Structure 1
């Protein structure tokens, strides 16, 4: 980590991102409290609608945001997205109707959809090839840490200054981050490419990524496990505020503690993925994550504050096991030249699951307020069973990128071809044709594959070129 932080441009960009992430924590905790204030027992419907708008904006706009980030200077994009969010969050304290919340949340996440991929693409640009893995790891770790402590800090602030006043602090965080980015020297323009991407090319790229997701059986299995995680996870994000504030009659501070528990569990799941042997089957990890997150909620409607924090920590761990395993599974099974398109398609499909899961959670929260977590858990367990028994692959092919090597190559008399280097005179017959000779030359394999069984004991290699 110290190597990447010694880069003054990345250091300033990283500080700006950290301040912005803390502002996001204030936004969503304040929004949940505001929804409960305006809608009371109907808060799950309001919160579900707001979160659905969030993931819808991400799904539709983020692929185009990546294209814009490759073509224009990224500094003004980052500044504008911060200033736009600052203006919108400072309007949230004055809302008095539900439609105003929906409009402001949609605007916030339009800016967010352009900020996130632009920032992610800027890290390698400012750090260079040597330090960018460290920089990405540091940014990811910071995101997880603020996911743990951000809601708790926001809950304490809300207790002293009020839920609506949180949004002014949020606005201050965004304008501070924008100022830091504006003081960066030079521009943040990517190296221009000689090939222009037309609309038809973009459409083709999206189709290629989607086809890979749905035709590769292990990736398809992981994508459906993410559907399980979204159905159960939406119950937590939508209905926790009503249960803690309404059923248990606690304050915003205790609500922050519960959501802090969910973030802590997600962080522990991330650590578990890091120390779990990578040679083991990711299918097992995906199944374990689905089982953990689905069963954690089954008794949540009947427990108090401390057991609820524990259950939410367990659920957060299950979420991380699924999501991070899916990320590495795509990297393992996709050639390098296709990974960008596959990750883009995965981003859209995984957010589409949440776009359906949030309204379902809102309906359960208002229709069955005393059993919402129970029904969400049973739905997740049912879907988990169907996915596992119908879609679990028994074997899969592990695909590597192309590689080049040198090996011996023998010619018989009928087999001739030209080489870049000249053969010795003794390798030719008197008439000038090649004699039988053994020599070495570079040889390129476009891809090679391993066919694995899930016993993790033996496997086959099937190279082709």
Structure 2
């Protein structure tokens, strides 16, 4: 039993035996830590510029971020097939570094909006390209482990990064912390530049390079995404997950402060527990059986989210922490299989297009979910999570009835 448990925990790290993936993973980890510094710095900067209006400034910045992803990421997948992928990675990387280093010098609200929007335009080109590369450089038998390790790292840094950034911001200052993100971009950029270009071009065909119709390629990526029964079901479950996730992100703070009458530190612990739950599920999911867990993961994740948030309005803070741990587990179970399924069900020459389309639509779901969560939180402050949980479960049942495929496909 002990050896089996040890095997489950050690399995995700086997993907790091691939030197190309190891460099990409380390670059991503450094960059994600730097991003945590920037978002903490941005919150402090918004407060400096307009104390009364800082929540609106941050909400607008997040909306612009999602908008940039929705509009530009479908084109990123096309560009990843036509332009040298290494060039896309390092050019967009260093442009983002330059934008980040402008943030310490801004003095007005509109400057935040402009810089955040363009920062995420280039992020919209970087991230789908990065995701399209991984299934080409990692052996099929380790691909789920690679995705699990990347996702778990993302979740853990989402919890630990802001805490570390908050401590450093007190020491350095709100504006100076952006330069740390700039340094992280330099370190990650060096790792990207050290990877041979040919390693990152695997899976790119001459036909994809020579395609002249950008719009038809974008439409093809969308058609392949929604035309695939397995991916269509996974995307439907991601919408269900976005509804529940938005409820957690938007309404947890008001529930803890207004309903439970607790202070900010309790909110921090609750969100940390949620992130830890998501990281645990992401880390372990890559080590489970490769042929039987897709539909189980998607369905159990959606219902775990729905059931967890249903009960929040009627329990105390200690039980809320347990529920948020399960909700974090549910979110990773509901969202993580999609990335693996694209690699397993879409031909390699079309994966760039589909990753770009998936990145856009997965963020569109959140753009829809945030207003729903805000409406429930404002109109039903004593039962918002109950209604959000019921909506999640109903949408999950509809997704299963309408979209659930057989999942009978051959793994690579």
TM-score by shorter chain over 0.5: yes
Task: Report the counterpart of residue 402 of structure 2 in structure 1.
Answer: 391
Q: 1:227 to 1:74 in 2, by over 3 A?
A: closer
Aligned 8 A contact 2:222 2:354 in 1 = yes
Aligned 8 A contact 2:305 2:330 in 1 = yes
Q: How does 1:228-239 map to 2 (within 5 A)?
A: 228-239=240-251
1:294 aligns with 2:295: no
Task: Report the counterpart of residue 349 of structure 1 in structure 2.
Answer: 361
Task: Report the counterpart of residue 17 of structure 1 in structure 2.
Answer: 28
Task: Report the counterpart of residue 122 of structure 2 in structure 1.
Answer: 111
Point out the more displaced range, 339-348 or 105-114. 339-348
Q: CA deviation at 1:232?
A: 1.6
Match of residue 211, structure 2, among 198, 206, 211 = 198
Q: Distance in 1 between matches of 2:262 and 2:48?
A: 14
Q: Deviations over 1:253-309 (max 9, x none)?
A: 655443332221112222453455445474443222111112322344566665444
Q: Distance in 1 between matches of 2:40 and 2:91?
A: 24
1:311 aligns with 2:323: yes
Q: 1:171 to 1:363 in 2, by over 3 A?
A: farther
Q: 1:74 to 1:345 in 2, by over 3 A?
A: closer
Normalized per residue, the structure richer in strand is 1
Name stretches of at least 5 consecutive residues in structure 1 with no aligned partner. 403-465
Q: Distance in 1 between matches of 2:307 and 2:107?
A: 38
Task: Report the counterpart of residue 322 of structure 1 in structure 2.
Answer: 334
Q: How does 1:203-242 map to 2 (within 5 A)?
A: 203-241=215-253
Q: Deviations over 1:131-155 (max 9, x none)?
A: 9857666545533442343233334
What secondary structure does 2:408 align onto? strand
Give the TM-score normalised by structure 1: 0.67
Match of residue 264, structure 1, among 276, 296, 304 = 276
Q: CA deviation at 1:101?
A: 3.3
Q: Distance in 2 between matches of 1:160 and 1:241?
A: 26
Q: 1:30 to 1:261 in 2, by over 3 A?
A: farther
Task: Report the counterpart of residue 441 of structure 1 in structure 2.
Answer: none
Q: Deviations over 1:60-104 (max 9, x none)?
A: 322333443444445554344333333433444565655443322
Aligned 8 A contact 2:298 2:334 in 1 = yes
Q: Distance in 2 between matches of 1:381 and 1:23?
A: 36
1:102 aligns with 2:113: yes
Name stretches of at least 5 consecutive residues in structure 2 with no aligned partner. 1-12
Task: Report the counterpart of residue 64 of structure 2 in structure 1.
Answer: 53
Task: Report the counterpart of residue 388 of structure 2 in structure 1.
Answer: 376
Point out the more displaced range, 169-178 or 295-304. 295-304
Q: 1:36 to 1:315 in 2, by over 3 A?
A: farther
Larger relative contact order, structure 1 or 2 (CA cutoff 8 Å, min sep 6): 2
Q: 1:60 to 1:153 in 2, by over 3 A?
A: same
Task: Report the counterpart of residue 27 of structure 1 in structure 2.
Answer: 38
Q: 1:117 to 1:319 in 2, by over 3 A?
A: same
Point out the more displaced range, 184-193 or 222-231. 184-193
Q: How does 1:381-420 map to 2 (within 5 A)?
A: 381-388=393-400, 390-391=401-402, 393=404, 396=406, 398-400=408-410
Task: Report the counterpart of residue 164 of structure 2 in structure 1.
Answer: 153
Q: CA RMSD in A?
A: 4.2
Q: Distance in 2 between matches of 1:151 and 1:45?
A: 20
What secondary structure does 1:262 align onto? helix
What secondary structure does 2:406 align onto? strand
Give the TM-score normalised by structure 2: 0.75
Q: Distance in 1 between matches of 2:262 and 2:307?
A: 25
Count residues in correspondence. 395
Q: CA deviation at 1:24?
A: 1.8
Q: Distance in 2 between matches of 1:5 and 1:401?
A: 21
Q: How does 1:85-100 map to 2 (within 5 A)?
A: 85-92=96-103, 98-100=109-111
Q: Which has the larger radius of gyration?
A: 1
